[in-house]
Homo-oligomer: A and B are copies of this chain.
Amino acid sequence: MKKLINEGDKAVDECVEGFLKLNKGTVKRVGDVNAIARREAPIEGKVGIVIGGGAGHEPLFLEFIGEGMADAVAHGDIFAAPSPKVALEATRAADGGEGVLYIYGNYEGDIMNFDMAAEMAESEGIKTETIRVRDDVASAGPENKEERRGISGDLFVIKIAGAKAKTCADLDEVKKTVEKARDNTRSIGIALTSATLPNTGEKTFEIGDDEMEVGMGVHGEPGVERTEIKKAEETTQIMVEKLIEDLPFKKNDEVLALVNSYGATTRLELHIVYNELSKILEKRKIDVYNAEVGAYCTTQEMAGCSITLMKLDEELKRLYNTDVNTPGYKFFKK
């Protein structure tokens, strides 16, 4: 296995150790588990934002805590949900008296464990609400939106949540806005290579030297189509068409766009894909309000990328412009 680790089953704990040392001025461990909060948490009078999920997708979720994003993270094992105990520790750390909003990807293990944490929190007098991100249009049809998985759309949804919570809106108001952000977000991914799990050394799936898979999930869940590798232009076209027709995004819509690397795909390639994406959106008169390229939701060293679009309204635009200063994502309005 071509990875810089020690023991595979200690990789997540050692990553968290390193993360805590690297960011010692701004984050802290809470409880005796992999629950980490920003130093200032809990912030009185502000809804707490708790995010989490399996490890292995860094910077998501671990590195999205801090100014303008989440208050605490419940960090699981490789591709495995955090336990209810970890989620509860994160909840306690984030609650400043106004309750906590959970944001996580729509996966069975995460749902079960965060729901259990919510019950335990309630018995301690902490109110919680939940938003499950389900942006991956390839994972279920539009008639089964509730079954869709969460992928790179997390970045924008968490950013909006952090910004809304900062306005000191109450829990219902924060939930309502984040729900809108979630429902306005669509993503799709493609994979060119498999990934290796650091804990087991196993590959997530097999794929031929000349193949790519459209709609591949971030844990190697099968996609919708396996084809020969196509050029960036055609690949982007295939991905974006699926996004646009799903919401649907329409002429004169304003959107946020993200071209996200799943791992080994370089920034050179991401910019080429962004160039193709721009051309398609311009032709359809869909206006890019702002865009990001980078590796924000990864699947270890898997080559491939995802594209995310979020439709904006005036509230979402205003919130999006809130500064973010976290270890894994920084945003400063110029």
Chain A residues proximal to chain B, CB less than 8 Å? 1-6, 11-12, 14-19, 21-22, 25-26, 55-56, 58-59, 63, 67, 192-193, 198, 209, 212, 229, 231-233, 235, 263-275, 278, 291, 293, 295, 298, 300-301, 303, 305, 323, 325, 328, 330-332, 334
Contacts and interface: CB of A to CB of B under 8 A. Distances in A.
Given A274-B21, A330-B332, A265 B301 contact: yes
A82 to B, nearest CB: 16
A190 B285 CA distance: 46
A39 to B, nearest CB: 9
B4 A265 contact: yes
Question: Could you say how many copies of this chain the assembly holds?
Answer: 2
Nearest to A3: B269
B229 A272 contact: no
B332 A301 contact: no
A264 B56 CA distance: 13
B4 A269 contact: yes
Most buried by B among A229, A270, A293: A293
A295 B295 contact: yes
20 contacts: A2-B192, A2-B229, A3-B192, A3-B269, A3-B303, A4-B192, A5-B272, A11-B268, A12-B268, A14-B232, A14-B271, A14-B275, A15-B271, A21-B275, A26-B334, A56-B268, A63-B267, A263-B264, A263-B266, A330-B331
A240 B289 CA distance: 44
Most buried by B among A19, A26, A229: A19
